[in-house]
Amino acid sequence: MSDMPLDGRLALVTGASKGIGAATAQALAKAGAHVVLTARDVRGLEQVEDAIHEAGGQSTIAPVDLAESDGIARLASAVAGRWDKLDALVVSAAYLPTLTPVTQIDGKQFSQAITVNVLATQALLANFDPLLKRADAGRVFGLTSSVGETPRAYWSAYGSTKAAFDNLLECYAAEVEKVSKVRVALIDPGATRTAMRAKAYPGEDPQTVKPPETVGSRIVELLVNDFEGFHRERVEE
């Protein structure tokens, strides 16, 4: 396999300033893709971009708050103004509300989770669908969680948004499969060394779980080797 199997391809990664998003962006760039990095944290994006450029890769930062009503539309317009297609969309950004019983969910945090995890996902699909369909084989990767598929006590606020997230992506996959070459993969990263994981499990030794680079590498592998139809998997060690 070529050292640059994704040369000439364009990928956009949300939540690219840290964690799995950053690791995936760097892995995509290492494989030759030009990566559009988006997140709210400008400094974090700049650090990821510096790392990509130092390694000889190509990237462009596009700071966006996915919770802003017109942020995604502006992002899509900017990308379409420079490129005529999008080969890969990686939806990694997510918001984790405080873990709490259903009866004690904080309404403001729940609303933020719904906005970032669900509404923004729909907006990303709607706004980038034309660019994905112009690619030879547009691919969408959604980073999900097992709590969306299997409810767990105290995880209801996050888990319910991930269940909706999964449903949106699976429906989109079914809708585009017969009318385009766009395909969708839902990736459950499992236990991974991220800031979100540390927030959920504050007493856990981070060295006991896999690094985000493992997930990023798997996404690149899927993009390079490709997959047919809707794909779902959990990334293990």
Q: Give the pLDDT confidence score for residue 1 in this predicted structure.
A: 47
| Structure token pair of residue 235 | 């990334």
3 located within any domain: no
Number of structural domains found in the chain = 1
109 located within any domain: yes
5 located within any domain: no
Which residues contact residue 7 at a Cβ distance below 8 angstroms, ignoring those fewer than 6 apart? Answer: 32, 33
Q: Give the pLDDT confidence score for residue 127 in this predicted structure.
A: 98
Residue by residue, pLDDT tens for the chain (237 residues) are: 468 999 999 999 999 999 999 999 999 999 999 999 999 999 999 999 999 999 999 999 999 999 998 999 999 999 999 999 999 999 999 999 999 999 999 999 999 999 999 999 999 999 999 999 999 999 999 999 999 999 999 999 999 999 999 999 999 999 999 999 999 999 999 999 999 999 999 999 999 999 999 999 999 999 999 999 999 999 997
User: What single DSSP character describes residue 198?
Assistant: H
Q: For residues 161 and 156, what is the distance between their CA atoms, to the nearest angstrom?
A: 8
Q: Give the pLDDT confidence score for residue 96 in this predicted structure.
A: 98
Q: Give the pLDDT confidence score for residue 2 in this predicted structure.
A: 67
What residues act catalytically? 158
83 located within any domain: yes
Q: Give the pLDDT confidence score for residue 69 in this predicted structure.
A: 83
Q: What domain range includes position 146?
A: 10-234
2 located within any domain: no
119 located within any domain: yes
3-state secondary structure 79-134: HHHHCCCCCEEEECCCCCCCCCCHHHCCHHHHHHHHHHHHHHHHHHHHHHHHHHHH
CATH number of the domain to which 134 belongs: 3.40.50.720
**pTM for the whole thing?**
0.97
First-to-last C-alpha distance (Å) of the chain: 23
34 located within any domain: yes
56 located within any domain: yes
